[in-house]
Structure 1
Amino acid sequence: MRCSWRFRDKEQGKSKKVKGKNGAKRPRDIKERTFRFALEILRLCKELDERPDVGRTLGKQLLRSGTSIGANAEEAQAGQSKADFVSKYAIALKEARETLYWLRLLKESGSLRDGSIDMVIQEADELSRIIGSIIVKAKQGSDDT
């Protein structure tokens, strides 16, 4: 699997990436990162949809939760208040945790034999941690969200 976790820095026009736990480079912008994650989820779900077994049903669950993370992160940016911002990110966190559950279930059940699922599981875990941190900082009144 080729993960393309890149984005363009608007000020400098250069690629900006940071390293994840395994050294893979990821974008710093949460909206771009969740968008790229949703693309990976779509790829996995297309693979699952071609199967007649339980993987197809689980794929539908994964599709709903995995693509919802980025949608809620986008909505949070247009929040009408701090409470609205936190609420949207709280939903994104719940969806990220649900996505992590479905990914782990698919891996352990053998429904997905693609070795790249480990990278997607890791990214779901990292997104959960980042979103949790955003929520904590926002509740503390930090401007670093």
Structure 2
Amino acid sequence: MLVQLKIIGFLLVVLALLHAAFARYFNWRAEFAAVSLINRQMMYVHTFFVAFTVLLIGLLCLTSAPELVGTPLGHRLALGCGVFWLARLAIQFFGYSTQLWRGKRFETAIHVVFSLLWTYLSAVFLWVGLN
């Protein structure tokens, strides 16, 4: 399980860093031009904090995998992370419209890749948290 947590740590750090490109990739400048200042800034701030949280979870896995696996507090933290990523997996299917990806090769591939990633993260964290 230690190796799995290290792999997860690496993947989450990469995912957190990818958030830096969201505004440019999704063309937020043009997309949010008509949105009020508070809504535009909330989007940027919330994206930052999601990325920051993902980064911290990744760093926790990279630096404290033995503690996650071997201590009661580690199990509770892992269980919390497992519930977090399980909720993210549910949102993948129930929070986003299939119109965003169905029939589009690249978007479908991204949907599948992230569905598998959320499943992997959920399974490992729940396994650690419940054992």
Higher relative contact order (CA 8 A, sep 6+): 2
Structure with a larger share of its residues in helix: 2
- Among candidates 102, 116, 119, match of residue 119 of structure 1: 116
Q: Deviations over 1:109-135 (max 9, x none)?
A: 68xx6332112100122113311331x
Q: Shift of the alpha carbon at 1:64?
A: 1.8
What's the TM-score, normalizing by structure 2? 0.54
Structure 2 CA distance, aligned partners of 1:71 and 1:59?
18
Q: Say whether 1:64 aligns with 2:80.
A: no
Instruction: Point out the structure with max Rg over C-alpha.
Output: 2
Distance 1:68 1:100, change over 3 A: farther
Q: Say whether 1:49 aligns with 2:20.
A: yes
What's the TM-score, normalizing by structure 1? 0.50
Structure 1 CA distance, aligned partners of 2:84 and 2:52?
13
- Kindly report which structure 2 residues correspond to 1:103-114, keeping only aligned pairs within 5 A, or say none: 108=95, 114=110
Identity %: 11
Unaligned stretches of 5+ residues in structure 1: 1-29, 80-84, 135-145
Paired residues in the alignment total: 97
Structure 2 CA distance, aligned partners of 1:117 and 1:94?
20
Unaligned stretches of 5+ residues in structure 2: 24-43, 101-106
Q: Is the 8 A contact 2:82 2:126 kept in 1?
A: no
Q: Deviations over 1:42-101 (max 9, x none)?
A: 121111122344433311122223442454431256x6xxxxx22222222223333444
Structure 1 CA distance, aligned partners of 2:4 and 2:117?
12
